[in-house]
Structure formats: C-alpha cells, structure tokens
C-alpha cells in the first residue's frame, strides 16, 4: 500500500480530483481488455500534461514506487494490469490533438488522444491516420504505440511503428525527452523505433508525431464464402502468392460468423458456410479493377461458394463493422472468451487452422477464428464460461498450445496484441535465453530499477547495475 504521505504529495502535484484511491473507483481499472487477469492498482493518477507526469514519476523513482502507464484499457495482453498494487498513470486527460500540419502531412498528438479522432480531424483532406486497430473508436495513440498495434489494413499500410516519426517520452527517472522528430532520420540510434511496441517498459509516451497517409482513390470490397476452411485458407494464400497486396483481407469461420450474426452488430453474413473472406482491394481506379478480377478468379479456382459485392456503401460498412466487432460479439456465445494473437506465414494457414481445430477438440473447447488473413495474423477466440470449474486453466493451456504451433511453423506468439502478462510464459519458447538476456540489458538502460511496468513483456531477470542515463551528463563526444 502507498503511504498517505506520498499520496498527499502526489495530490499536491496533480490536485485532489486527479488522484483516485477509493476501492470502488479503483476496481474500474483492475484489468484491460483481457479480464481474466485482474489486479487492483494502489492508486490511479490522472495527470494533465507531461510536466505533471514527470513530477509524479520523479517522486515514484525517489521512493521506489512501481507504476504502470495506461491508455483506454483496450489492450489484449494485460500489459496495463497491475500485478503487485502498482500505481496506474492514466493518460486519458492528455487527449489533445496538438497540431495538424497538412502541408507536411504530419500530426502531433498527446498520448491519450483517441485513434479514430485523429482520422476524423482530417476527414476532408484526402488523408488519414492509417493504423486502424479494431478498437479504434476507444483506443489511444499512446496505447497503440505501446503495443505497436496493427489492424485490418496493416499488410499494405504498415503497423503503428511505420507511422510514428517521433515521440515525447517521460523516462522512468522522470526526465522528459524527445525522440525522433518531424524530420526523418535524425542522426543516432532509432530509439523511437525501439520504444514503439515496448509496452510501457522503457518509459511513458506522452506525445507522438505521426504521419498521415493518402486515402486510396478507389476501394472495392468483396465477400467470398467457402464450404471448407481449407478452401478459404488456400484462397488467401493464393492471393498473396499472386503478388496482390489487398488493403485488407479478413477471415472468419462459421463460429465467428455465428457470433456476429447473433449480436447487435449483425452484418448479414451468410450463415450456412464454413468460412468467409472479406477483402478490400484498394489503390488507383483502373488497377483496382484489374486486381479485383484476378482476385475473383483466384476465389473461383478455390471453390468459392459465392462472391458478393456490397449492394451499397451501407452494406459495405455493415460487413466491416461486423468484422471489427467480432471479438465483442463472442459474448453471444459465452460469458467469457480468450483471444490469441499468433502469426504465421500465409502459406501455412490451412495447415495451422487444422491444427488449431485438433487442439480445440483435444481440450474439449470450441475455437472461433477471425483474423487478419492477409498478414497471417491469427486470432483464435476461445469462448468459455468462467463458472465452470477448472476451465480457465484448460483454456489458457489450449491457447498456449496454439501459439506454440505458430512458433513451430516459423511464426510468432503475438502480432499486435503484445506480450503483457498473458504471453510472458511463452517468451522462452520463442526466444533463446541469450536473446531474452539481451533484451533485458536494453530494458535496464531505460528502466534500471524496473519501476516502470515491472516484469511485463519480458520475464524480468533484474538489472546488474543501474546505468546512468541522465541528460545532465551529456558529453560532447567529438
């Protein structure tokens, strides 16, 4: 527990209303999007600017208090969930869009700004902010940066890291520094690149400089249905093998379709099929036609049952909304679900999906598959009812076994959700001991006392000795 004295000091910095300590209010923050892991924070702080963040962190650093940065809490790995009564530093009040530089197609935002708000702010300019995780209506840019979030369109347009030019961060010792910047290739190591995806274990992002992307001139959406999972998976592999990079290519199996169609996000997907592939082919007008025809040929060759074009923009939006809300729709199947996030190369899709099915059967569980097929990023969803005794253990084990299959096939345990708590055990399955040690050395440079999001992402082995990283020791090195 935190001492009253420290809370008092924090209240002096932030104001009383920006410090939450009552148990009922704290319980709102006990988990992120993965509610099977829960932990109460000792307090939740709501700073208004980087300076406040810095002051609070200095105080934490001086008093060896552990803390965790938190955005909207939509994360799916438990990266923002307390495990040992850490303090949460919520960036929600730091949600301003600070600058829109249309001439250079660059935006500057505070970390708590909502992803979708940024695209809306430049809605009529022909440009947008490309990374679009399914939670984009709620999730924050800072959270996206922490997880290097992807989304449906990242095969073609890249993940968050490809769109972040610079950051303002507060280091775990409280110092505020700038990384990167509007101008590309600032001399030195690409610390911005290293920071993206570090899940708050290197420091807290307070501002970000991001770039905007030109909207595609034309987009054609196709919905193809298949009688077998294998046909759908092969269709996906063949599109990529043909060298076609669609704007997005999504896969849903029967159970995932069922969940969406039972939910309020009903999209009108055909229910009598084993799988569907939803694809956006975008680019220049004429090229889109050429490529769409090729895609249709590929789908036909792989025995597509039906290939549909949306009747109108409304239907198109409904299909995409159905896909984006698929995780939430799992609630129609069961009270709880676990979502995994493995990645494989696309040619292995059919093989791995078959293995997932075998694993599910062996554990006597169901698995719904809904995922970004274009980039081989699987999201097996395991619906279950927590009230059933012993089920959670079974679900987690099945999930881990699925991810091990992904690693065995040359892929990864996480494509966009992060390691957080949930995949920490698997890190030693996909990395050698010396690789984990190497990463720990990096963490120790930034976070030597391991106060900032302790033990997340990489199983902590402790730092040999704290390294000096204060900016006051700048040495003119030439």
Partner 1 sequence: MVSQYSIEGLEPKEIFKPESLEEVSLILKDANEKNKALAPICYGTKLNLGNPLKRLDYLLILSELKNLVEYAPSDLYVTVQCGMKLKDLQEILKRKNQHIPLDPPYYDKASIGGIISTNSFGPKRLRYGSLRDMLLGLKIVTAEGKIIRAGGKVVKNVAGYDLVKLYIGSLGTLGVIAEATFRVYPLPEKLVTLIVKLKDYREAMSLKERVQDSYLLPCALDMINPSLASSLNLDGSYYLLVRFDGLEVDVNREVRDALDLFKKGGFYDVKVIEKDEDLWDKLINYPQRIKEKESFVSLKVGILSTDLPLLMRLMEEYNLKPLINYHLGLGLGRMFLIDAEDYNVLGKVIDALREELYSKKGYLVIEHSPKELKKYTNVWGKLREDFPLMKGLKEALDPKGILNPGRFVGGI
Question: 90-109: which residues touch partner 1 (CB under 8 A)?
Answer: 103-105
8 Å CB contact between 99 and 57: no
State the minimum distance, in angstroms, from the CB of residue 456 to partner 1. 12
Query: Which two tokens mark 123?
Result: 């809605």
In this chain, which of 177, 317, 358, 388 binds partner 1, going by CB under 8 A? 177
Nearer Cβ to partner 1 (1/475): 475
**Interacting span for partner 1 (CB under 8 A) from 39-47, 246-254, 327-335, 372-380:** 372-380
Q: What are phi and psi of 317, to 5 degrees?
A: -60, -40
**Interacting span for partner 1 (CB under 8 A) from 225-233, 301-309, 323-331, 416-424:** 416-424
| Nearest in space to 211 (alpha carbons), one of 126, 311, 287, 102 | 102
Does residue 55 bind partner 1 (CB under 8 A)?
A: no
Does residue 353 bind partner 1 (CB under 8 A)?
A: no
Residue whose pair of structure tokens reads 């495990």 in the numeric block? 83
Nearer Cβ to partner 1 (114/145): 145
**Interacting span for partner 1 (CB under 8 A) from 2-10, 18-26, 39-47, 173-181:** 173-181
State the minimum distance, in angstroms, from the CB of residue 392 to partner 1. 23
Does residue 264 bind partner 1 (CB under 8 A)?
A: no
> 466: which DSSP letter?
P
Does residue 376 bind partner 1 (CB under 8 A)?
A: yes
| Nearest in space to 58 (alpha carbons), one of 163, 140, 174 | 174
Strand arrangement of the beta sheet that strand 336-339 belongs to: 304-308, 218-226, 275-283, 248-253, 368-372, 380-384, 336-339
Nearer Cβ to partner 1 (264/478): 478
Angle at 81 between CA 77 and CA 87, to 5 degrees: 150
Q: Measuring CA to CA, how many Å separate 75 from each of 80, 169, 330, 417, 422?
A: 7, 20, 17, 7, 11
Question: What is the C-alpha to C-alpha distance for residues 319 and 416, in angstroms, rounded to an integer?
Answer: 22
Q: How many binding residues for partner 1 (CB under 8 A)? A: 97
In this chain, which of 310, 357, 427, 455 binds partner 1, going by CB under 8 A? 427
Does residue 51 bind partner 1 (CB under 8 A)?
A: no
| Nearest in space to 71 (alpha carbons), one of 140, 19, 166, 7 | 140
Residue 278 CB-half CA count within 13 A: 25
In this chain, which of 61, 263, 414, 450 binds partner 1, going by CB under 8 A? 414
State the minimum distance, in angstroms, from the CB of residue 313 to partner 1. 19
Does residue 17 bind partner 1 (CB under 8 A)?
A: no
State the minimum distance, in angstroms, from the CB of residue 427 to partner 1. 7
Does residue 423 bind partner 1 (CB under 8 A)?
A: yes
In this chain, which of 184, 311, 364, 389 binds partner 1, going by CB under 8 A? 184
**Interacting span for partner 1 (CB under 8 A) from 46-54, 144-152, 225-233, 318-326:** 144-152
Does residue 459 bind partner 1 (CB under 8 A)?
A: no
8 Å CB contact between 79 and 174: no
Nearer Cβ to partner 1 (182/318): 182
Nearer Cβ to partner 1 (222/444): 444
Interface residues for partner 1 in 268-297 (CB under 8 A)?
283-287, 290-291
Q: What are phi and psi of 107, to 5 degrees?
A: -125, 150
Q: List, in order, residues 6 or more apart from 74 with CB less than 8 Å away.
A: 32, 33, 135, 138, 139, 143
Does residue 458 bind partner 1 (CB under 8 A)?
A: yes
In this chain, which of 42, 136, 237, 447 binds partner 1, going by CB under 8 A? 237
Nearer Cβ to partner 1 (412/460): 412
Torsion on CA atoms 114, 204, 35, 420, rounded to nearest 10: 120
| Nearest in space to 204 (alpha carbons), one of 3, 58, 11 | 58
State the minimum distance, in angstroms, from the CB of residue 155 to partner 1. 6
Nearer Cβ to partner 1 (365/405): 405
**Interacting span for partner 1 (CB under 8 A) from 108-116, 240-248, 322-330, 354-362:** 240-248
Does residue 462 bind partner 1 (CB under 8 A)?
A: no
In this chain, which of 121, 194, 296, 307 binds partner 1, going by CB under 8 A? 194
| Nearest in space to 277 (alpha carbons), one of 340, 332, 331, 234 | 234
The 3-state secondary structure of 395-421, one letter per residue? HHHHHHHHHHHHHHCCCECCCCCCCCC
Interface residues for partner 1 in 383-412 (CB under 8 A)?
410-412
Does residue 124 bind partner 1 (CB under 8 A)?
A: no
Nearer Cβ to partner 1 (40/194): 194
Does residue 219 bind partner 1 (CB under 8 A)?
A: no
| Nearest in space to 388 (alpha carbons), one of 370, 366, 368, 404 | 366
| Nearest in space to 80 (alpha carbons), one of 112, 113, 117 | 112
State the minimum distance, in angstroms, from the CB of residue 103 to partner 1. 5
In this chain, which of 88, 278, 395, 419 binds partner 1, going by CB under 8 A? 419
């Amino acid at each position: 527990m935190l001492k009253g004295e420290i809370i008092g000091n924090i209240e002096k910095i932030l104001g009383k209303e920006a410090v939450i300590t009552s148990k009922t209010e704290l319980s709102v923050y006990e988990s992120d999007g993965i509610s099977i892991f829960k932990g109460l924070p000792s307090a939740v702080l709501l700073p208004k600017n980087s300076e406040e963040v810095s002051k609070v962190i200095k105080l934490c650093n001086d008093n060896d208090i552990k803390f965790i940065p938190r955005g909207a809490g939509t994360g799916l790995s438990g990266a923002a969930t307390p495990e040992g009564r850490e303090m949460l530093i919520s960036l929600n009040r730091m949600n301003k869009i600070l600058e829109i530089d249309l001439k250079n197609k660059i935006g500057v935002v505070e970390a708590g700004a909502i992803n979708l708000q940024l695209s809306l702010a430049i809605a009529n300019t022909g440009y947008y902010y490309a990374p679009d995780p399914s939670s984009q209506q709620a999730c924050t840019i800072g959270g996206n940066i922490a997880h290097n979030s992807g989304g449906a369109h990242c095969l073609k347009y890249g993940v968050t890291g490809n769109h972040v030019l610079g950051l303002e961060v507060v280091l775990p010792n409280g110092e505020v520094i700038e990384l990167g910047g509007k101008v590309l290739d600032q001399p030195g190591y690409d610390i911005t690149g290293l920071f993206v995806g570090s899940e708050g274990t290197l420091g807290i992002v307070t501002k970000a400089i991001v770039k905007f992307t030109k909207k595609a001139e034309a987009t054609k959406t196709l919905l193809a249905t298949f009688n077998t999972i294998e046909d759908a998976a092969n269709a996906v592999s063949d599109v990529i093998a043909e060298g076609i990079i669609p704007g997005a290519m999504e896969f849903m199996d029967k159970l995932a379709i069922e969940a969406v169609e039972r939910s309020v996000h009903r999209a009108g997907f055909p229910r009598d099929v084993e799988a569907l592939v939803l694809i956006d082919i975008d680019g220049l007008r004429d090229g889109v036609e050429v490529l769409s025809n090729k895609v249709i040929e590929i789908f036909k060759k792989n025995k597509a049952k039906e290939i549909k074009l949306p009747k109108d923009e409304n239907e198109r939006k409904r299909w995409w909304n159905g896909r984006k809300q698929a995780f939430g729709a799992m609630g129609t199947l069961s009270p709880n679900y676990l979502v995994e996030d493995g990645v494989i190369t696309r040619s292995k899709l059919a093989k791995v999906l078959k293995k997932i099915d075998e694993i599910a059967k062996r554990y006597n569980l169901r698995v719904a598959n809904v995922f970004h097929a274009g980039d081989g990023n699987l999201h097996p969803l395991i619906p279950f009812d927590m009230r059933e005794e012993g089920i959670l253990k079974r679900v987690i084990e099945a999930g881990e076994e699925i991810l091990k299959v992904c690693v065995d096939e040359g892929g990864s345990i996480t494509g966009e959700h992060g390691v957080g708590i949930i995949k920490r055990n698997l890190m030693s399955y996909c990395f050698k001991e010396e690789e984990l040690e190497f990463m720990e050395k990096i963490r120790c440079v930034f976070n030597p006392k391991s106060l900032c999001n302790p033990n997340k992402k990489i199983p902590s082995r402790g730092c040999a000795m704290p390294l000096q990283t204060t900016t006051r020791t700048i040495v003119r090195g030439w």
